[in-house]
Amino acid sequence: MPITRTTNLADAVLATIEWLMPEDMDCWLELYQNCRERGYLLGAKGSNRRAAFSENRNSDAIVVYPGNMGDFEMAGNVPIGDAWAHRHYFNYDATVEAARYIIAHLQGEDADR
């Protein structure tokens, strides 16, 4: 997936996650693509938890899809089921808040699920 304007927000969130992530937290990263939404799927190693994030296809907001392994299709890591139902939106400039939300989800600290 090329780096384009449509990945800029996801790149900013990813860089913020790297900056805020606890040193003892180990994660893996894959690409996420669903039509105009292009970003990343992040998972905590040794955990079933996943989170896909990108710029929302209908706005300039950041969208995060928190879920577990079975909540994402294999092709493109597209969110389904609970991940789709529990999506969360952040203002385009709220990269810190989005990153904190993703880290908390991966650590099992969901406040809204």
pLDDT digits (tens, 9 = 90+) for 37-66: 899 999 999 999 999 999 998 888 999 999
Determine the Cα–Cα distance for residues 62 and 36; give it in Å rounded to an integer.
13
pLDDT surpasses 80 at 2: no
**Residue 13 and residue 95 in contact, taking contact as beta carbons nearer than 8 Å:** yes
Q: Does an H or E element contain 44, and which?
A: strand 37-44
Mean pLDDT, the chain, whole residue set? 89
Share of the chain above pLDDT 70, in %: 91
pLDDT surpasses 60 at 92: yes
Residue with tokens 């989005």: 98
pLDDT surpasses 80 at 7: no
Confidence of residue 5 (pLDDT cuts 50, 70, 90): low
